[in-house]
């Protein structure tokens, strides 16, 4: 019996000291990066400083990569591109806009100064600005409740329908899914004409039956109904897809056993079907609530926020984009973000609690 000699394992390098010049000295690279960037920002024109800071970021990133390679942190090395992209595209802009919300800054002006929490105080309490914000927020809450309820109800019923086999089911399913695949702009333009009192089908049909002049969008109730219907038309299929996925995963033998036991249809649904789709329903509810909170596109296309249908997202677009009040817009964004996070966690907490209970 021969004994294999042990494979020599190369010894791991020791970390270089702070001031040692080495390709893997990430501490020194970070120090140099911070100092040079700070000096560049302070002393050089913005367009030159931008590139210098970019080079410094690349230098620090390279030092981290070499360090990870030499010390065999392969896991970290493999995920680092994803983290870099996430940081550049998501975290950095998020932090940047958070910072901006504490300054007085307009994107079409050259000046900027620190104002602390003033933007938040203004958007929440100023007697002119805050009134519009709160009003838009209340409208948004109304749209969240109405659109999500409509989508959940219609989506759920469609899923129950399509869970069964019937002639032309495959083709009807494609047809029902089509609105979800259309662009919002195309749908918005379609509904603009659909509701138009002169050219629209809706007014034409109702006028033919009831006589008179039917104008759906001439009141807040009508305008809200128009937007909710259009949104439900587009996004109920999304809820349907998720619920359908749950429905088809229910084992057939459970229904067969229930049939042998002559279990009522309601009890069959509540004790067999619902537990399988509950998680997916919660997921659909979560997704649609977050999306409904950001509702702006259909409002812009159908009413321009008129007839008292202004939502907080559209209001934000006007403030940050049209009026260039960047900092004020950032403050509103973070208040919206906070609300969405609270709402999401509330859902998740409720979902988890129900799961634990069951």
Partner 1 sequence: MTTTKIKGAMVAAGLAASLMIGGAGPSLADEVTLRMAVPDWPPTRIMKKFFDEQYKPKSGNAVKLEVDFIPWPDFYTRVNASLTSGERKYNFIVSDSQWLGAFVEGGYFRKVNDLLDADPEFKKTFMDIHPSLLNAYSTYPYKSQNYYGFPQFPDVLVTYARKDIVCDETEQKNFLAKYKKKLACTGEEIDAMTWDDFRNVGEFLRRRKGEMLAGKPAEDDFYGIAFQAGKGYDFSSMQVNGFVWQMGGDIWDETKVPKGQAQGVVNSPAAVKALEKYLSLLEYMPPVAKTGTMDIFKTDELFREGKVAMNVNWIGLGEASLDPKISRVSDKLVFGMMPGTMGPDGKMVRWSNIGGQPFVLTTWTTDAQIKEAVEFVKWWLSSPIQHQFAAAGGQSGIKSVYSDPKYVTYRPWNRTWAPSLDWQNDVWHVPQFFELLTQQQDQFDRAITGKQNAKTTLDNIAKFQQNLLSEAGLIK
User: Which contacts of 273-276 are long-range, i.e. CB under 8 A and separated by 24 or more positions?
Assistant: 273/247, 275/358, 276/246, 276/247, 276/249, 276/250
Euclidean distance between CA atoms 53 and 35, whole angstroms? 10
Closer to partner 1 by CB, 196 or 291: give it.
Answer: 196
Task: Judge whether 288 and 235 are in contact, CB under 8 Å.
Answer: yes
- Window of 16-24, 158-166, 167-175, 209-217 that interacts with partner 1 by CB under 8 A: 209-217
**Distances in Å between the alpha carbon of 57 and those of 31, 65, 71, 132, 236?**
11, 12, 21, 41, 45
The reply on whether position 198 binds partner 1 by CB under 8 A is: yes
**Distances in Å between the alpha carbon of 146 and those of 45, 151, 226, 323, 347?**
51, 9, 11, 30, 17
Name which position in 13, 72, 109, 169 contacts partner 1 (CB under 8 A): 109
x-marked contacts with partner 1 along 38-67 as a string, rule CB under 8 A = --------xx--------------------
The reply on whether position 188 binds partner 1 by CB under 8 A is: no
SS3 104: strand
| Minimum CB distance to partner 1, residue 336 (Å) | 19
Euclidean distance between CA atoms 104 and 93, whole angstroms? 18
Q: And the tokens for 297?
A: 């596109």
Closer to partner 1 by CB, 72 or 109: give it.
Answer: 109
Euclidean distance between CA atoms 211 and 249, whole angstroms? 50
x-marked contacts with partner 1 along 284-313 as a string, rule CB under 8 A = ------------------xxxxxxx-x---
Closer to partner 1 by CB, 80 or 207: give it.
Answer: 207
The reply on whether position 107 binds partner 1 by CB under 8 A is: yes
| Minimum CB distance to partner 1, residue 332 (Å) | 15
- Window of 25-33, 153-161, 197-205, 275-283 that interacts with partner 1 by CB under 8 A: 197-205
**Residues in contact with partner 1 by the rule CB under 8 A:** 46-47, 107-110, 128, 192, 196-199, 203, 213, 215, 217-219, 223, 302-308, 310, 318, 321-325
């Amino acid at each position: 019996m021969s004994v294999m000699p042990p494979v020599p394992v190369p010894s791991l390098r020791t970390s270089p000291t702070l001031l040692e010049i080495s390709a893997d000295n990430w501490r020194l690279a970070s120090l140099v990066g911070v100092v040079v960037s700070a000096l560049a920002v302070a002393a050089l024109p913005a367009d030159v400083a931008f590139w210098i800071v970019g080079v410094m970021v690349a230098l620090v990133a390279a030092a981290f990569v070499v360090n990870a390679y030499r010390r065999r942190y392969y896991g970290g090395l493999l995920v680092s591109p994803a983290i870099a992209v996430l940081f550049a595209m998501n975290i950095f802009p998020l932090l940047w806009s958070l910072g901006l919300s504490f300054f007085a800054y307009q994107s079409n002006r050259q000046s900027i100064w620190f104002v602390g929490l003033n933007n938040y105080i203004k958007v929440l309490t100023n007697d002119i600005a805050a009134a519009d914000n709160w009003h838009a927020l209340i409208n948004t809450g109304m749209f969240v409740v109405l659109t999500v309820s409509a989508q959940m109800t219609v989506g759920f019923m469609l899923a129950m329908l399509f869970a069964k086999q019937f002639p032309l089911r495959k083709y009807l399913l494609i047809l029902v899914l089509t609105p979800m695949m259309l662009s919002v702009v195309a749908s918005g333009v379609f509904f603009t004409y659909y509701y138009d009192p002169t050219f629209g089908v809706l007014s034409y049909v109702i006028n033919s039956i009831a006589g008179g002049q039917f104008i759906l969008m001439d009141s807040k109730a009508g305008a809200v109904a128009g937007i909710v219907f259009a949104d439900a038309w587009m996004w109920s299929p999304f809820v349907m897809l998720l619920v359908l996925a749950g429905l088809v995963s229910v084992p057939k033998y459970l229904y067969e056993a229930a049939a042998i036991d002559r279990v009522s249809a309601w009890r069959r649904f509540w004790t067999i079907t619902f537990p399988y789709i509950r998680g997916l329903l919660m997921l659909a509810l979560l997704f649609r609530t977050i999306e409904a909170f950001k509702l702006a596109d259909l409002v812009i296309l159908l009413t321009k926020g008129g007839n008292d249908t202004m939502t907080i997202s559209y209001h934000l677009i006007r403030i940050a984009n049209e009026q260039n009040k960047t900092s004020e817009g950032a403050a509103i964004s973070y208040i919206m973000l906070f609300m969405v996070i609270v709402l999401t966690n509330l859902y998740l907490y409720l979902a988890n609690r129900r799961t634990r209970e069951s």
